[in-house]
Amino acid sequence: MRTRKTPVLALAAAAGLLLLTPFAPAQKASDPAFKVKLDFNRWHDCDELAADMRRLQAAFPKFLKLESIGKSHNGRDLWLMTINNPATGPESGKAGMYIEANVHGNEIQGCEVCLYTIWYLMENYGRNADITRLVDERVFYIIPTVNPDGHQYFMEGPGGNARSGHVPVDDDNDGLFDEDPPEDINGNGIVEMIRKYVPGQGNYRISRDNPDLLEPVPFGEKGDYILLGQEGIDNDGDGLVNEDGPGSYDPNRNWPSDWQPNYVQGGAMDYPFQLPEAKAVADFLKAHPNIAGVQSYHNTGGMILRGPGAEAVGEYPQPDARAYDELGQNGERMLPFYRYIVIWSGLYTVHGGFIDYTNDGLGIVSFSNELWNGEQYFTSPALKEQQQDPSSPIAPAQSRYFFDKYLEFGEEYVKWTPFDHPQFGRVEMGGVWKKYQGRVPPRFMNEELCHRNMAFSLYQADEMPLVRLDDAEVERIGGDVYRVYVDITNPKVVPTVLAKAAQTGTVRPDLLLTEGRNVEVLAASFVDSKTVHKINPSVTPLVDQKDLKRILIRNGQPGKATRTAVLIVKGSGSVKVTYDSVKGGRASKTVALK
Amino acid sequence: MGAASKGTDVTSPLCPFRANPPKEVGVRRFLTGFHRPAALLPLLAVLALGLASGPAAAQGPAGYRDHAALTKAVQALANANKAVVRLESIGRSAGGRDIWALEIGGPGPVPPAQRPALLVAAGFDGDRLAGTEIALAVAGILAKAPASEATVYVLPRLNPDGAEGFFAPLKTGARTNREPYDDDNDGRVDEDGPDDLNGDGLITVMRVKAAGGEYMIDPEDPRLMKRADPKKGETGSYRLYTEGIDNDGDGFINEDPPGGIDLDRNFAHEYPYGQPGAGPHMVSAAEARALMAWIVAHRNVAAILTFGGSDNLIVPPTGAGRLGPARELDLVRFADTAVAAARAAGFIQTGGAMGRGGRMMMGGFPFEMPGGGGRQAPRAAQAAAGSEFSRFMMPDRKPATTVAPGDYDFFKAVSDKYVETTGIRQPLCVREPRGAFFEYGYYQFGVPSFSTPGFGLATAEPGPARRPAGGAPPDPGAAVPPVQAGRGAAPARQTGAAGGGGVGGFGQAGGGGPAPAAAAAAPGIDRQVLKWMEAEKIDGFVPWTKVKHPEFGEVEVGGFKPYAAANPPADKLAGLGQAHAEFAAYLISLFPRVRAASFEAEGLGGGLYRLRAEVENTGFWPTALAQAVTARSVKPTMVQLGVDPGAVVSGSPKTSFVQTLPGSGGRAKFEWLVKGKPGQAVELVVRSEKGGSATARVTLK
């Protein structure tokens, strides 16, 4: 609860009432006057993330449903927020946008983007027309952290080794599991480097450019320092330091599309969905086939990634690549310093990654944004130009130190300080960056990161397929035989069925259903444009299926396109035509035969 | 008594330890370990008695067991041998049946979970019940003479739901589990299974006279069908289907039967993405998941023997490391091919927009977007951007798909022993092994891993099965699965009707694809199977009889009976159980066994000591196969000195690892200089994941 204490004792009784409300009284002239105040300039641990989700849920109970989809290895809940307006229909009839973050425990700012997205959608519903429409048309599934064990380990500990989840792995093959993690001996919350001053006998020296930095001496010279490795102790007495910390696998390689064993893909574990967190997420996704968009936030580098993760999988079919390119290229315009790239060719090869599974295994358009790019420290053209000058204090090698000193007031860099080490004697420890520097933005820049990335995901959500039956016409051929034209439109970028999903059968095909008491469908075909077809009639291929009252459309409805179904029907009364897609919703049109 | 004397002859090939007796080492140390060949003697004696008394003495009732009877049998075995056999359920099938696991191990100093173990697993395919019975027989025999230094796990039936089909009133011969599955992806689940048209309680094959059909009656045996070869001037006049009708009125017959996932296609080595029966993804089936969870928790499993549809024991891998070609019944395969068209139907082609000839096709075909949406060509450069750099920086590794050259001899030797022990020289029917559990066992789990149908022919007929003498590599394509159009098939086939399966020719809009390679590369084993059935007096073939069909009119129903070619006659089971128990004992005798062959200390003065040790593998197999080293799936053997790390002055580190130690006496040497005190006892621990562990002690003087 974030109610402020007031010094006026007389208000204490009123405060009792205020506690029942999840927000402070609105200030009249504020713009906007938000119901729930959240902070996006600091990093939240698991409990705080969950508490903020509970506050949001309490403030917007009509739209928000908070539930746990399962437990992590250490027993933490995987909290899912569902955003749906029940007044516009149940979840299952709407295309769903699934957003998650933090599969790598140390990649924490995505959690804040998730929280920001829930908050922003709710605070702006009814205030902003676009947001209102989006919330009415779509459903959002948001899991701020899918690796709470890794997240909490990162937040509580020195920050190293937190990419993994916490299913124990015997990293050093000694039959013991996770028995020798890194330690913070001097208790400052950081695992530091250790150096020893050995005048004229070392192989390192103080950098000429920056007294905080050590640099190796040139060939043939001697320095004053040697490095003695990382802070830590040999917990298991095997002669090795910090060789078996918690977990040590990659939770983003445990997914069953192009999954490969450990020797091909490091960190894959022994079989897909071995990890309880991956299993819980997969079970949720399988139970929600309406999900048509996925975003999995990572850090770092400023990327809008799509699959395939490995070259051997093969580039996506052209219609799919076209939809991805449209979204990704607009994403680049919304996210300065982010590049839209394919994982294997632009980043590195990934086998068994999450978004490979959601695209290849589930037929969902999927992106993974690598949040934050170091280019964003100094963004103006003038400063970029100045960075070209190696003697500038913001030249690439120096810029982090400059930024830390003047914009973060020395918050992030740990300077060398003397320490009496139990094994090495008098040494100095330091020379490292704290865990919040580098992969996450400076705290004061996080809200912009949250907003821009949310905007991209909302754009993706808006471009999920949405089926409409716009126009229907009936034309009498003779007797009780009619030609019925029904225009099927998907005004969005994404097709109702991805071409790859159609090839592999991972999404239920779309269905064109015809109902009518006395109606028989004699023949059916589809034309790309009714107008062109009427001006210049051409022979169209007939639908080669037996049951024409339930036509399977495996390749779905393309994006940004209207096609016309042409049904030759025999009968009387009225005909109801329904286009039913799993990811683009369902639409019907009834016409009278006359 | 010849057999009995065989049992006490420790020079027999059953006991390779004899060739490398443990060397005597210094008196100041004592060893614990598993290098005592005598420990196997009681087992050999029991085996010998079993052989001497013949199949009649084999345990268990003749015949095949359903789940209830299987449950009783494993419970009875566990109850009768409480000190030796433990029973647990490793999980439940989709239908809620327990998947049983027996742990067999005699009393000994090391708990069974830490001893090197043989896993015997069976019953993956719902139509192969023989493996379950053989596995039970193996369990019963080995429980009578349990090893004190090895463990045997027997999982007799991984797919209990599938096996129940054998006992159902209507016998379909289905291999799959019973998880509901939309095989043809039409939005309806399990809606069009087979139907017993001739009322014999068996689902066989239906042949329909049709002009333009692809099949003809085999002129050499009118019971059989062959694909007409136009190049030979042959004209087909039949279509083939499995017995049934078009239940859901979609124009296809039996395209979505009850179930399921073909369990032995659901594992992670060479998983056949999108193939019929493979399921939605690897390790998706509850049964597969239960087995994977179990085996990764049982790293002491040092070898795997499965009874299943594939074989690498009767016919070992070739010198190139590949398995022999699949041998499946043509008649069944031809009929199965018919449903492929159902999975391809439903790709809508549009017309009209671009004027005459304007076509739009989706799904990997040339694609012209009508007005709008086609702002620019997809970025071909997108995928290529940086690709050269990516390839250079991170060359993509590929998983191994052939037996490592360093492991080949082990497979060959075991196969030779298998043929000698069982007398089986040729398998009857064999499936190609993509996604099979035993392949996972070798390529990913990293242990010697075998599969056999458990029965076969006593004589090898020259033919496609046995590779020619001289070991010429077979057709490289042979290990490739039969191509079947369908879910996940290559895009070029998706509108083509493979095999022309539709009742009225539906789904043939694409003009009919190329003939499926499966049918083209027919191994022609049907005649051989008929001969086997005649010789074994198996009533395994239903003669063709005329039946009225609702869609086709008059058709003929007949063909191989379900289960008949996948299982031996029940009276053969006892003998097969004996032979495979002997073979299982042989496999156990090959386990790697580590020991400290020597461990000595020498005082150098000034509190400094030189310690020397030699670690030896007295077993036959190395502590890790070549593939296990490649796959890093078997932990290196650890050699650890029980001193404070700071006491090690020089030499080997306190903890060392040996990637693999060859068998038959392979050794690794270690030397440490340590600081110590007179009278101090120093312990050496040797721990191998598959070869047990050993401890040695020396006292400093």
| ipTM summary value | 0.91
Domain topology for B594-699: Immunoglobulin-like (2.60.40)
Residues from chain B that touch A242, judged by Cβ atoms under 8 A, are: none
pLDDT tens-digit series, residues A410-442:
999 999 999 998 888 999 999 999 999 889 999
The pLDDT value given to residue B515: 39
- Pairing mode, strands A561-570 and A481-490: antiparallel
Q: How confident is the model at residue B121 (pLDDT cuts 50, 70, 90)?
A: very high
d(CA B494, CA B484): 11
Structure tokens at A59: 């403030």
Q: In the 3-class helix/strand/coil scheme, how is B189-258 assigned residue by residue? A: CCCECCCCCCCCCECCEEEEECCCCCEEECCCCCCCEEECCHHHCCCCCEEEEECCCCCCCCCCCCCECC
The pLDDT value given to residue A256: 98
The pLDDT value given to residue A502: 96
What is the percentage of chain A residues whose pLDDT exceeds 70?
95
- A349 and B396 in contact by Cβ < 8 A? yes
Domain A42-154+250-372+443-462: CATH class, spelled out: alpha beta
Q: How far is CA B653 from CA A175, A237, A588, B700, in A?
A: 17, 12, 75, 19
Domains A42-154+250-372+443-462 and A468-592 share a fold: no
- A263 and B630 in contact by Cβ < 8 A? yes
Partner residue facing A527 (CB), from B353, B364, B645: B353
- Stretch B119-145: mean pLDDT, rounded? 97
Q: Which residue has the tokens 């530091």?
A: A192
- A240 and B274 in contact by Cβ < 8 A? no
Residues from chain B that touch A311, judged by Cβ atoms under 8 A, are: 387, 390-391, 396
Domain topology for A468-592: Immunoglobulin-like (2.60.40)
Closest CA to A440 of A113, A199, A166: A113
Residues 4-63 of A with CB under 8 A from B: none
Partner residue facing A322 (CB), from B378, B632, B645: B378
d(CA B209, CA B655): 74
Phi, psi of A319 (to 5 degrees): -60, -35
A552 lies within 8 A of chain B by CB: yes
Interface with A, mutate which of B245, B255, B339, B362 (most A CBs under 10 A): B362
Q: How confident is the model at residue B463 (pLDDT cuts 50, 70, 90)?
A: low
- B363 and A532 in contact by Cβ < 8 A? no
Partner residue facing A544 (CB), from B345, B357, B399: B345
- A325 and B638 in contact by Cβ < 8 A? no
Residues 114-143 of A with CB under 8 A from B: none
pLDDT tens-digit series, residues A260-276:
999 999 999 999 999 99
- Stretch A20-39: mean pLDDT, rounded? 75
Q: Is the pTM of this model over 0.90?
A: no
Interface with A, mutate which of B186, B253, B281 (most A CBs under 10 A): B281
The pLDDT value given to residue B583: 98
Q: How confident is the model at residue A218 (pLDDT cuts 50, 70, 90)?
A: very high
Which of A488-492, B14-18, B68-72, B175-179 is least confident? B14-18
Residue A352 CB neighbour total at 10 angstroms:
28
Q: What is the 8-class DSSP label of residue B179? A: -
Q: Which helix (H) or strand (E) holds B333?
A: helix B330-337
Shortest CA gap B495–chain A (Å): 10
pLDDT tops 90 at residue A246: no
- B350 and A361 in contact by Cβ < 8 A? no
A537 lies within 8 A of chain B by CB: yes
Residues from chain A that touch B347, judged by Cβ atoms under 8 A, are: 502, 554-555
Q: How confident is the model at residue B611 (pLDDT cuts 50, 70, 90)?
A: very high
The pLDDT value given to residue A24: 53
Structure tokens at A116: 């920001």
Size of interface A-B (CB pairs under 8 A): 267
pLDDT tops 60 at residue A521: yes
- A546 and B250 in contact by Cβ < 8 A? yes
Residue of A nearest to B345 (CA): A545
Q: How confident is the model at residue B11 (pLDDT cuts 50, 70, 90)?
A: very low
Amino acid B215 reads Y
Q: How confident is the model at residue A209 (pLDDT cuts 50, 70, 90)?
A: confident
Which of A184-188, A230-234, B360-364 is least confident? B360-364
Structure tokens at A366: 């999927």
Partner residue facing B351 (CB), from A527, A545, A554: A527
Residues from chain A that touch B272, judged by Cβ atoms under 8 A, are: none
What is the percentage of chain B residues whose pLDDT exceeds 70?
76
CATH code linked to domain B36-181+261-314+424-456+568-589 = 3.40.630.10
The pLDDT value given to residue A181: 84
Which of A255-259, A428-432, B163-167 is least confident? A428-432
Q: How confident is the model at residue B47 (pLDDT cuts 50, 70, 90)?
A: low
Which of A144-158, B21-35, B189-203, B668-682 is least confident? B21-35
Q: Share the mean pLDDT of chain B.
A: 83
Structure tokens at A61: 């109970």
Residues from chain A that touch B384, judged by Cβ atoms under 8 A, are: 345
Residue of A nearest to B511 (CA): A544
pLDDT tops 80 at residue B520: no
**Which residue ranges make up each domain of chain B?**
36-181+261-314+424-456+568-589, 183-258+327-345+497-564, 594-699
Q: Share the mean pLDDT of chain A.
A: 92
Residues from chain B that touch A319, judged by Cβ atoms under 8 A, are: 362-363, 367
Q: In the 3-class helix/strand/coil scheme, how is A286-315 assigned residue by residue? A: HCCCCEEEEEEEECCCCEEEECCCCHHHCC
The pLDDT value given to residue B9: 35
A555 lies within 8 A of chain B by CB: yes
pLDDT tops 60 at residue B55: no
d(CA B369, CA B359): 10
The pLDDT value given to residue A576: 97
Shortest CA gap B419–chain A (Å): 32
- Stretch B119-126: mean pLDDT, rounded? 98
Residues 235-274 of A with CB under 8 A from B: 237-240, 256-257, 259-265, 270-274
Structure tokens at A337: 């310093």
Partner residue facing A546 (CB), from B378, B387, B506: B506
- A256 and B282 in contact by Cβ < 8 A? yes
- A503 and B393 in contact by Cβ < 8 A? no
- Stretch A499-505: mean pLDDT, rounded? 95
A540 lies within 8 A of chain B by CB: yes
The pLDDT value given to residue B410: 97
A499 lies within 8 A of chain B by CB: yes
**Which residue ranges make up each domain of chain A?**
42-154+250-372+443-462, 171-245+408-433, 468-592
Interface with B, mutate which of A233, A528, A538, A563 (most B CBs under 10 A): A528
Amino acid A469 reads L
- Stretch A4-31: mean pLDDT, rounded? 52
- A505 and B487 in contact by Cβ < 8 A? yes
- A322 and B636 in contact by Cβ < 8 A? no
Q: Which residue has the higher pLDDT, A209 or B526?
A: B526
Partner residue facing B509 (CB), from A259, A325, A544: A544
pLDDT tens-digit series, residues B547-560:
999 999 999 999 99
pLDDT tops 70 at residue A230: yes
The pLDDT value given to residue B484: 33
Amino acid B593 reads R
- B390 and A348 in contact by Cβ < 8 A? yes
pLDDT tops 50 at residue A9: no
Q: In the 3-class helix/strand/coil scheme, how is A29-66 assigned residue by residue? A: CCCCCCCCCCCCCCCCCHHHHHHHHHHHHHHCCCCEEE
Which of A221-230, A581-590, B175-184, B502-511 is least confident? B502-511
Residues 365-424 of A with CB under 8 A from B: none
- B346 and A509 in contact by Cβ < 8 A? yes
d(CA B640, CA A148): 36
pLDDT tens-digit series, residues A60-118:
999 999 999 999 999 999 999 999 999 999 999 999 999 999 999 999 999 999 999 99
- Stretch B626-638: mean pLDDT, rounded? 95
Q: How confident is the model at residue A176 (pLDDT cuts 50, 70, 90)?
A: confident
- B346 and A495 in contact by Cβ < 8 A? no
Partner residue facing A259 (CB), from B282, B348, B393: B282
- B284 and A536 in contact by Cβ < 8 A? no
- Check: CB of residue A262 under 8 Å from CB of residue B635: no
pLDDT tops 90 at residue B356: no
Partner residue facing A528 (CB), from B370, B387, B636: B370
Partner residue facing A561 (CB), from B250, B364, B373: B373
A352 lies within 8 A of chain B by CB: no
